[in-house]
Each structure stands twice: as structure tokens, then as C-alpha cells.
Copies of this chain bind each other. A is one copy, B any other.
Amino acid sequence: MILENEFSLDKTDLHILRLLQENARMSNADMARELGMAPSGVLERVKKLEQKNVIQQYTTRINPNALQQKLLAFIFIKANVGPGCDSVVTDELAKIPEVQEVHHVAGDDCYLVKIRTYDSASLMEIMRTRFAVIPNMMSTRTTIVLETVKEQQQLVIPEK
């Protein structure tokens, strides 16, 4: 049984993804020109990529400084939960809007959270009001980012 995966993307799909990842506001007509095909054909593929959840969201990267959000931190969290019942902790963490990422990681530190706030005071506020109330949380270790050199979610998309 040959099963690449359930998505089965061809060369044209990958080309479309590359274009949209670089500029989500590129018009369908411009894509069609770039790909050398009719706009209707491109549109159909894009719709299909959305349906298949290959395309998850069209979003805009906004400069955090423009919104005075100067603090970025990573927090490692230990929690004493039985196997399979850790969803309470992660779900509560994921609900916090300032929390951008929640990962379950290998090793002693069970969870890794990425969080962005205005300053250290607002971080502490969130930790007091939102983190502290989550049951079974043992300890946290916070790493403050001093300077960000690169920050993007773009994937490396192969040619074929």
C-alpha cells in the first residue's frame, strides 16, 4: 500500500502554496498568470486546498512594536498529571489570548508556552491570574527574549 499521505499535492499545488505563503493577498488573476493557467482553474485548486485543511488560515503579520507589545517569553511548565489526562492544563493555557504557542515536549519539563505581552508587569499579571489557577501545575521556568533576530512560521516548500 503506497500512501504518500492523505493530502496528495502535485507540483502546481506546491507552487500555489509557495505564492500564497509569500503573499496571501496575491490576486487569483496574478497567480493564474504566474502559473500560466486560467483563473478558474487556480481558484478551484485553492478552494480544494482550503477544504483539505492544507491551507489553515490567511493571516497578517503585524509588527508587535506598533502595538507596544515589547515582551516575548518562553515558559517551561512542569505539571503532575497522570498519562492522558493532561488536556486540562494545555487547554487552559491555549485559551489565554496572549499565549501564542503551547507544546507538549519531551523531558522533565512537560509543557512549553510562548507568550507575548506589553511588559514584564503584564506577564506577571497573566501568570498570577491565569496560570496560578490551573490545577496540577508544579513549577514554571521563564526565559525572557532580549532580542528577536528571526520570527516566522513559513515552511520550506519543496519544488516537487
**A13 to B74 alpha-carbon distance, docked (Å):** 29
Verify B152–A100 contact, CB threshold 8 A. Answer: yes
Q: Tell me which residues across on chain B come within 8 A of A62, comparing CB atoms.
A: 17, 21, 54-56, 155, 157
Smallest beta-carbon distance A11→chain B, Å = 13
Q: Tell me which residues across on chain B come within 8 A of A93, comparing CB atoms.
A: 149-150
A: number of interface residues (CB 8 Å): 64
Task: Tell me the A101-160 residues at the B interface (CB within 8 Å).
Answer: 101-107, 109, 112, 116, 143-158
Verify A105–B146 contact, CB threshold 8 A. Answer: yes
Verify B59–A149 contact, CB threshold 8 A. Answer: no
Q: Does A85 contact B (CB under 8 A)?
A: no
**A63 to B56 alpha-carbon distance, docked (Å):** 6
